[in-house]
Amino acid sequence: MNVNSLDEQLSRYRHDIREIGQTEVSERNITVNGMKAVELIKTWHADGIQYQALTVHIEAIPGSRYYRIGCVTPLSKYNETLPKFKLVINSFKLVNRP
């Protein structure tokens, strides 16, 4: 996805999740290995199961490079799985950063 700012990436993402019937639950500003990021939590139902996802939008290089990491699980297993999600997110590093 080509975007010019973290705000633009988030705006497009919100539009996409609304279009497919998902609901944003929360948002907070965080950092991932020194990079500005936004953590979004969303939820939805599919095939009789409620799912919850933690999605982190990372501004690796302002104005040019953005990443999104998504972690999804049934809501009933979210708290149990969250430490693994956090481990994946916090291990993100940019290699060969200009």
What pLDDT, on a 0 to 100 scale, did the predictor assign at position 98? Answer: 55
Q: How many domains does the chain have?
A: 1
| pTM attached to this predicted model | 0.89
CATH of residue 19's domain is 3.40.1000.10
Cα distance between residue 90 and residue 10, in whole Å:
20
Q: Over the chain (98 residues), what is each successive 10-residue block's mean pLDDT?
A: 85 94 96 95 96 96 91 96 95 78
Cα distance between residue 35 and residue 86, in whole Å:
15
> Residue 59: which domain range?
6-90
Cα distance between residue 31 and residue 58, in whole Å:
8
The burial of 58, by beta-carbon neighbours within 10 Å (0-12 exposed, 13-18 middle, 19 or more buried), is given as: buried
Domain-located, residue 70: yes
